[in-house]
Structure 1
Amino acid sequence: MNRALQSGVALITALIITALAAVIAVNMVSAQQIDIRRTGNVLDGDQAYLYALGIESWAQGVLAGDRRKNQTDTLQDAWATVLPPIDVQGGKVAGEILDQQGLFNLNNLVQNKQKSEADIKIFQRLLITLKLDPDLAWPLVDWMDPDVELSFPNGAEDAEYLKRTPPYRTANAPLVSVSELLLVN
């Protein structure tokens, strides 16, 4: 092999090695940037969790103080006041205690794996009061009850939900999150 050809092969080899080293270096820098961002996200998540614990501690203190002062609750009590936004590193934190006593628990529609006719009627009256169709109760009952039989008149069991894209099944269990309501027929 002549000298010029050997020099050309050596030059191409050097260029390939340099290109590979550059690709590896770029890959390492990209991976490092992702790792740094991931670490930042974990730290931000931990900080947000600690802020939430702080708000929870505030709420416990307010409720304990109210309990010591009186045995009755009104919306004029200290617990009913809103914690105004407080500046914290990276944002603001605010808090509020809401009285849940006057709300209707949708999980009462199915109790001990059985439809609760009394609670269904209460819920239907609530729907009527809100100017909504009382038959909206039935798909929700079917979502939570363990059987596969349709509740009359507008129930929806697995067969209905399996036709959707993407298909899914009913929970056949109590609601865990308000977001589940978006899945109910």
Structure 2
Amino acid sequence: MARAAFIGLGVMGYPMAGHIAKGGHEVTVYNRTNEKSARWVAEYGGKSAPTPAEAAQGQDFVFSCVGNDDDLRSVTTGPDGAFSAMKPGSVFIDNTTASAAIARELDAAATQGGFDFLDAPVSGGQAGAENGVLTVMVGGEQAVFDKAKPVIECYARMVGLMGPAGSGQLTKMVNQI
């Protein structure tokens, strides 16, 4: 069992975080609206945190699924962002469909902070998230991918390493065409 946090409980993140909890992992969630976090905790157990940093505190894996590059920057490197609380050797897995540039930027920030980063956008839509059958296109290092894959598989049917940081986002962009 791993300790995990999930940041962003929208139509994708809410069920994805639920699948991680159902997979036997201890999950702490953060969402901008406390009501949604409280509803998730009532449904799946676990805990909620008032900030991304508090959600990330002491976790082995921290997942995010937010709206765009700006939202992602806010929950990672912004005030009370998760990156300020990541423990050494932990892994931040971003499931947001964002730019390859921010994936590379966050990978560099993670390396500087002593933890790892994977960009891992998903395909399969809301139904795929609800049914735990998403396809996950991952960018990052092989050893980090191998460490995170068993937890990612809680919400995925297919998980593949596409190459170094940013490669997950580039693959997702091609998939969108």
Q: TM-score, normalised by structure 2?
A: 0.25
Of the two, which has the highest radius of gyration? 1
**Bigger strand fraction:** 2
Q: Structure with the greater relative contact order (CA < 8 A, sep ≥ 6): 1 or 2?
A: 2
Q: Which has the higher helix share?
A: 1
